[in-house]
Amino acid sequence: MRNRYGSEAMPLSDILAPDAVFPSLKVASKKQAIQELSAHAARLTGQDSRKIFEILLQRERLGSTGIGQGIAIPHGKMKIDRIFGLFAQLEKPIDFEALDGQSVDLIFLLLAPETAGADHLKALALIARLLRDGKVADKLRTLHDAKALYSLLIAPPINHAA
């Protein structure tokens, strides 16, 4: 099945649940953001928050998952049954050591099974394309309701190239 960006991928609704969207998250640093997101992910997946935190931190040591334009996609693999996503809009942008030096205010956490292989990379690519769409990112920054954020994330507008 082709998604709205013309590539074959699972729908984002398979990765992101309505209760995994957090508007106006209050954090002051990259480490605190990863801790908070790990705690929320642990509650939703039944996994240990410390383990999630360590996996995400280990990935950050390889290089920041701040991909630019105010967006970060911290991710890792662990013993879970399916790919899991969590989205947070930050109340105030934070330094995430992003590639472009910009502060981050939109974070999409992604956890994948250790055996996910290409599906993990496809999910990362899907999320990166969605959030790097300037119109989608701008709209996400104006919404402050979890339901509205979720609706926009799972049904992004169709881009028409001029």
Q: Token pair of 15, please?
A: 């990765």
Distance CA 18, CA 34 (A): 20
Question: What per-residue confidence (pLDDT) applies to 117?
Answer: 84
Residues 6+ away with beta carbon under 8 Å from 131: 67, 69, 71, 73, 106, 108, 137, 140
- Reading the block at residue 83, the tokens are 């790919």
Q: Return d(Cα 75, Cα 61) in angstroms, integer.
A: 12
- Spot the catalytic one: 75, 120, 144, 160: 75
* List of domains in the chain: 12-154 (3.40.930.10)
Tell me the C-alpha distance between 54 and 35, whole Å: 9
d(CA 34, CA 113): 19
By the 8 A CB rule, do 130 and 156 touch?
yes
Cα-Cα-Cα-Cα dihedral sign, residues 94, 47, 20, 25: negative
75 is catalytic: yes
Q: How far apart are the C-alpha atoms of 40 and 54, rounded to whole Å?
A: 14
The whole-model pTM stands at 0.90
pLDDT in tens, the chain (162 residues): 443 334 455 789 999 999 999 999 999 999 999 999 999 999 999 999 999 999 999 999 999 999 999 999 999 999 999 999 999 999 999 999 998 999 999 999 999 999 998 999 999 999 999 999 999 999 999 999 999 999 999 985 555 343
Residue type, 124: L
